[in-house]
Structure 1
């Protein structure tokens, strides 16, 4: 029986029950207009899919040098973060997951985003992309509206688009290379229009080559954040001659994910200042 006839055949009692279900707390939130709701956003963070797909091995990188700055990235799976401990261990910047898709916000965002700032860190926010759920522009708008914006206070970094292996199904989200690059461009354009800043792209070279055809069109405008858990950052995606951030481990002290900014602290400040 066609769906339209099925709906019309519902009696008054059934329709009343349906209305009651839709009115329950969370029902409207679950049926987010313009996109699907992520199933397990608390398990999706910056690089959460990388180890399972790339099976990285190798020693930690050598001790930090003057031309690099240590930092961390966190999400809800880290809970309340001991920021003073991280600061005392030499971390000077932090990125915090703000959003995923167009319905999830990190419940620990305030403690993590404000806490890192309060101890003196330069901080920023990132968005976990779900390209098959809604448009790039819609997800950029949601990100900006829920912590991913930018302010010219000298200690806020531009937002990050975290696009990596699909945690819910097909590696490339069931999308062609051209469709994915169009989606990324849609997100980046909307973010730039809303904030005046070019977003950082976090992506693994293996995913980028497989899913975008190693597209090289973003390297001239958008800084690269590359994950590789070993002694060097390794091969970069097409279009980038250097990386801006390097996630070098997901098993570091205190929070796990540790990173280096590719430059001196004054250059990190310059990135924050735009």
Structure 2
């Protein structure tokens, strides 16, 4: 079974609206496959080989309390009453494969599977044939059409959609590199989340995951549907992204498939826990295994690959905040993502996202002590021309001068300018998202020292002629001296300052987003670290949405009150569970309703 943007790898992309090519009975010969068609019968310790459908059965999961099944067009008209009498409580039904194949029996199987209690749909992925985005779109359309509904929400309570990841027709990994495969899965997953509100479940096994993704650890948010046919009581070992499994396909049918010879599955939990997987949460999470992977996921959730000659990606240090503070505002203003690197290397997740985006230009934020010349050279290969002139750097002699250099990207005068301390990040985290907006609140964010405005920043203020300057943070962060100096450059100087960084984020939001036109989405970041919020600033800015700060274990009172005032349709948590706990995510979900 398998979580945003199109990567056309291998063959030509097929339109998501193309007429489906169906067959009376889908078989490997005509291009249709059922879930597990290429999985090996024994323990997955070597690369999978094409597996016969009459492989010996195994029953390691049969003792688990919640039993289920999965079916495809191979199974024809399924005897659902018999399945229910056999103790099956859930089913997954194949809906599509790639962008051309559908399950001719989907409507009957979908309707009948509902009688078991819980059901969901799956797609067989074809990563080397067309983009992840187009295949995700095609899957959603086929489910909605087959279920005779006009929207995913009209399906009611359904289990998470599943992406079946197995061997290609001629090669195990569809002629994709590991980085390309990770990017393809990301694009599929993000599109599914956008279209359904549910995180995609990934069907795979350890050997395929190792061979084709390089043991990517970036998909832990997706429920794992593991394929392993064994007499053991558990399906361990698991692929590297997961510490636990959700669904286990533990037995394939012997002999030819028929309405009563479906695949046997089990759920890792009780029936109440299974039921909880059918809900569409208003709060979702964008998180990678680390800050670099999270920034890549944020980019993938928002930005499509760039056309020839177009697109800029901004690169910032994932270990130092000042340059990204100022750069996030400019990136959002110019409809561009911010991706993170170390001082000496481009992390794999960043490599994969750059490959997917294929920008014309890359701009490094900060000097060579923050991001070395070796990284600048390595980034050349990710531009369309793969040439040094298309990787440039915005850098001054210090963080204050660098922020002024970044502000040169804003050419409109008479707008808003934001000033934040260059010595700490909390107050500016939420301000960067507002500065990154495309509307009236858009403007450069420049850094100041406690003792005053630097010459470089003053020069930009003179050039920009702002109508308003907004100071982010209290007088301990942005001094009264700075406020007095700022008044020389703008007729209005306003300060956004709460008693804590959390209250400041709530104040910035309430001062920017009126109750009459609230944002549909709110982004949430932890207030005790900077990477996730800084990568999220241009994403939130493009969505005209605020970034509010929470602790890892709780929601401060004023932040909760601001969420209650905004009543957003959705909340996006930035970062993993070590940054913001699942308990906080659950509380946020309640505040969105």
Q: How many residues align?
A: 238
Hey, what's the Cα distance between the residues in 1 that align with 2:212 and 2:14?
A: 27
Instruction: Tell me the CA shift for residue 96 of structure 1.
Output: 0.4
What does 1:93-132 align with in structure 2 at a 5 Å threshold?
93-117=90-114, 119-132=115-128
Equivalent in the alignment of 2:177: 176
2:144 counterpart of 1:145: no
Determine helix, strand or coil for the equivalent of 1:93. Answer: strand
What does 1:174-253 align with in structure 2 at a 5 Å threshold?
174-219=175-220, 221-230=221-230, 231=232, 232-251=234-253
Higher relative contact order (CA 8 A, sep 6+): 1
Counterpart selection for 2:67 from 66, 70, 73: 70
Hey, what's the Cα distance between the residues in 2 that align with 1:78 and 1:57?
A: 18
Hey, what's the Cα distance between the residues in 1 that align with 2:143 and 2:194?
A: 16
Equivalent in the alignment of 1:88: 85
Counterpart selection for 1:156 from 151, 155, 158: 158
Hey, what's the Cα distance between the residues in 1 that align with 2:267 and 2:152?
A: 19
For the pair shown, the structure with the greater C-alpha radius of gyration is 2
**Deviation per residue, 1:60-86 (Å, 9 max, x gap):** 226524xx4100000001111100000
Contact (CA 8 Å) 1:94, 1:123: kept in 2 or not?
yes
Instruction: Tell me the CA shift for residue 150 of structure 1.
Output: 4.2
Instruction: Tell me the CA shift for residue 254 of structure 1.
Output: 2.3
Hey, what's the Cα distance between the residues in 2 that align with 1:224 and 1:63?
A: 18
**Deviation per residue, 1:27-68 (Å, 9 max, x gap):** xxxx944799896233x1111000273678785226524xx4
Runs of 4+ in 1 over 4 A off after TM superposition: 34-39, 54-59
What does 1:46-61 align with in structure 2 at a 5 Å threshold?
46-51=35-40, 53=48, 59-61=58-60
Hey, what's the Cα distance between the residues in 1 that align with 2:34 and 2:185?
A: 18
Contact (CA 8 Å) 1:76, 1:106: kept in 2 or not?
yes
Contact (CA 8 Å) 1:45, 1:97: kept in 2 or not?
yes
Hey, what's the Cα distance between the residues in 1 that align with 2:70 and 2:61?
A: 20
Contact (CA 8 Å) 1:158, 1:272: kept in 2 or not?
yes
TM-score by length of 2: 0.38
Hey, what's the Cα distance between the residues in 2 that align with 1:145 and 1:62?
A: 33
Equivalent in the alignment of 1:16: none
Equivalent in the alignment of 1:24: none
| Structure-2 change in CA distance of 1:193 and 1:110 (3 Å) | same
Equivalent in the alignment of 1:9: none
Determine helix, strand or coil for the equivalent of 1:188. Answer: helix
Determine helix, strand or coil for the equivalent of 1:243. Answer: coil
| Structure-2 change in CA distance of 1:111 and 1:84 (3 Å) | same
Hey, what's the Cα distance between the residues in 2 that align with 1:147 and 1:99?
A: 8
Hey, what's the Cα distance between the residues in 2 that align with 1:32 and 1:183?
A: 15
Structure 2 residues without counterparts, runs of 5 or longer: 1-12, 22-27, 42-47, 145-150, 281-593
Hey, what's the Cα distance between the residues in 2 that align with 1:188 and 1:141?
A: 11
2:247 counterpart of 1:266: no
Instruction: Tell me the CA shift for residue 121 of structure 1.
Output: 2.5
TM-score by length of 1: 0.80
**Deviation per residue, 1:97-135 (Å, 9 max, x gap):** 000111111100001111111x24311000100011110
| Structure-2 change in CA distance of 1:236 and 1:110 (3 Å) | same
Equivalent in the alignment of 2:131: 135
Hey, what's the Cα distance between the residues in 1 that align with 2:61 and 2:224?
A: 21
Q: CA RMSD in A?
A: 2.6
Instruction: Tell me the CA shift for residue 152 of structure 1.
Output: 7.1
Contact (CA 8 Å) 1:159, 1:199: kept in 2 or not?
yes
Determine helix, strand or coil for the equivalent of 1:209. Answer: helix
**Deviation per residue, 1:179-230 (Å, 9 max, x gap):** 00000000000110111110100011110111111101001x1100001000
Hey, what's the Cα distance between the residues in 2 that align with 1:153 and 1:132?
A: 30
| Structure-2 change in CA distance of 1:262 and 1:62 (3 Å) | closer
Hey, what's the Cα distance between the residues in 2 that align with 1:154 and 1:110?
A: 16
| Structure-2 change in CA distance of 1:176 and 1:62 (3 Å) | closer
Hey, what's the Cα distance between the residues in 2 that align with 1:109 and 1:169?
A: 27
